[in-house]
Amino acid sequence: QMAHRLYTLIFPLDRQANRVLLGMKKRGFGKNKYNGFGGKVEAHETIAAGAMRELHEESGLSARSLDKHGILFFYFEGDSVAMEVHVYVTGEYAGRAVETDEMRPEWFDMDGMPFEKMWADDPEWWPMVLEGKRFVGRFWFKNDMVTITRREVAPV
Ligand code: 6U4
Ligand code: NA
Ligand code: NA
């Protein structure tokens, strides 16, 4: 059994306007890609608390509730540690999105995601978020992290 490292990924939604807040990542893993907000879960916190903390650190927003949508497992060729990413949305949050050291926030139409500037797996599961479905996905990447060599993604 392979070792996993826990991560969160959270998407603030403005359901009335049919928009989602993404962040352009300015540094580190996934630099120059748009994504939801998130990061590593710390040892002392629950996964949900980690999602809320990362959202606040990276966007300035404070979530009042979370909706869990899925779990994504990412495997990288030649890497013995997989990523286990817990995906949430929130429609209830306080504050206003601000640019931080890590992320430049930008609203997008929920049906107009900039997939060409996102991780390669995102178009495969984002439709399930829109449909309100829960999902589990497993993606195997080549070293370039662009090419998916194998995928299993399904609603649960
Ligand atoms: P540091 O810089 O150590 O504080 P931290 O913010 O804890 O990092 P980070 O930003 O490296 O962690 O976490 C990676 C983020 O990227 C998580 O939100 C999960 C997300 N992510 C990683 N691979 C992804 C992929 N293939 N598709 C996707 N999100 C991915 O949609
Ligand atoms: Na992060
Ligand atoms: Na972080």
Beta-strand relationship, 3-14 and 103-109: unpaired
Per residue in 58-92, pLDDT (tens digit) is 999 999 999 999 999 999 998 999 999 999 999 99
Phi-psi region at 30: left, alpha or beta (left = phi > 0; alpha = psi -120 to 50) = left
- CB-ligand 1 contact for 126 (6 Å cutoff): no
List, for residues 28-68, the tens digit of each pLDDT value: 989 999 999 999 999 999 999 999 999 999 999 999 999 99
Atom of ligand 1 nearest to the CA of 27: 2
Residue 89: per-residue pLDDT: 98
Q: Is the CB of 119 under 6 A from ligand 1?
A: yes
* Ligand 1 contact, 29 CB (< 6 A): yes
The verdict on ipTM greater than 0.90 is yes
**What pTM was estimated for this model as a whole?**
0.97
